[in-house]
Structure 1
Amino acid sequence: MNLDNHEEIFYKAWNKSGYTSIELQPLDVNRVIVNDYPSVEGLSLTRTQLWEMEVKKAARPDLFISSVVKEGTARAWGRQILKNGDVVFIRVSEQRLWLQPQSYGTVIEACYLNHSNQQVTFIGLPKVEDDAGQVLYATQKQPLFHVTHGVSGEEKQPLNTWRIVHLENDPNDLLHERFEIMSGAQGLPEYVEYYIERSLNVQLTRN
C-alpha cells in the first residue's frame, strides 16, 4: 500500500460487485442535541469541532468508542505527515464483531487523515508487522472491512458521515440489519458524546 492511496482502495471496494457497501444517513448533530438533550441549552457544534473529534477518535478509538474496543488493546504506530499535511498511521485493536457483539476480534487498520476534505479512511488489513517487528493477524471470524468517517455541511450546520464496505457479500442481509439498528439509535453516537463531555467540558443527559 502506498502512503496516499487509502481513499482509492476504499472507493474501488465500495463499487465492487459482491462486496457489501453500507452508508448511514448523515447525522445532523446539532438537531440531535436540541431534540434529545433538552437539559443543555445553547450547545451547538461547528464543523471544525466535529473534525477535531474525528482526528482524536482515529488516534484513540479505545476512548471514543469504548463500547466497541476492548479496554487496553488499542495502539497505533508509524505516524507520518505527508507533504500535503495529511497523516497516515497504522492502528490495531480488539473490537466487537459486527454479528457476534459478545465476542472480540483483532482489527488492523491503515489510517489516512485527509485534512482538506475532512475525511478519515480506514483500510482493513489481513496482517501487519508492528513497530516491534511482530506480525499481527486480523480476526477471521468476520470479513475485512474498510470505513470512512467524515464531516460535511456548513461550519455552523455540520453533518457527521459514516460509510463501511465489507469485503464479501451479505446474502441474508444480516449486516444491513445490524447497521439499520445502529442508525436508528436515539441520541448522539458515543464518540460525539465523549468529545462534548471531555473536550468541551459539557455534561450531557439524554431525554
Structure 2
Amino acid sequence: MMLLATSMVAGCQQAPSAAFRDKALPPRLTDADLLAALVASGDWPDESPIHRAARLQSLGACIDLHRPEPSLADMRWSLNSPRAAATRAGRVRGITGWMTPASTGGLGPVPPETEHRLADASAKALQKASPDNATDSPGKPWPKQCDAFDWFNEPAYAENYAFVDRGSSCGGECGSGRIFALEYRDRRWRLVGIVHTWIA
C-alpha cells in the first residue's frame, strides 16, 4: 500500500541540522513538512499519526508524497517559446492568483507583496523544474485496495520558497489539484499560498 497514514512514504531528503544562514540554501522539504502543509491548508485535520492512520484506513485512502505524475515541470515545458524566453529574462511573472491557507484565517487573496514575491519565485522555480526530478517512472500504479488517493509531486525550489503540486481523487469520480507555496522562515517551512489548478 502506498501509505495508510505515515508508514510507507518514500523518504524526502532530510533537512540538515546546521542553522539556515542568509546566503545558504534552505533545507529540502521533508515528509513531515508536507504532512504539516496538508494540515495548514485545511485539507486534513490536525490529528495524531495513529488517528490519521485509522481515518485513512477506514476511507480506503492512500497517500503518496512522491508521485512522478505531471507537475510543475510540465508547466515549464508547456510554455510556448516566446513566453518561456520572456520568463527566463524576468519579463513575465510566474504563477499568480495565490490564496491564503486556512491556517492563516481563510482562503482570501494573499497580500499584494506576498503575491508579487510568490509570482517572481515561482517563475524561477518553473525554470528549474525538470521531469528528471521524479523519483519513480511516470504512471506508477496505486495499490488495488486504494479507493481514494492523495499525492504530492516533487517540489521545485527557488530562493527560500518551495512549490509543490498536490492532488486528490476519490476513485475517478471526483478530484482536485492545487499548488502549495511554502516559505522557509525562522528555521522551518511554512505554507504561505495555495493556487487551485484543476477540479473534477
Greater fraction strand: 1
TM-score (norm 2): 0.35
Q: Which has the higher contact order (CA 8 A, sep 6+)?
A: 1
| TM-score, scaled to structure 1 | 0.34
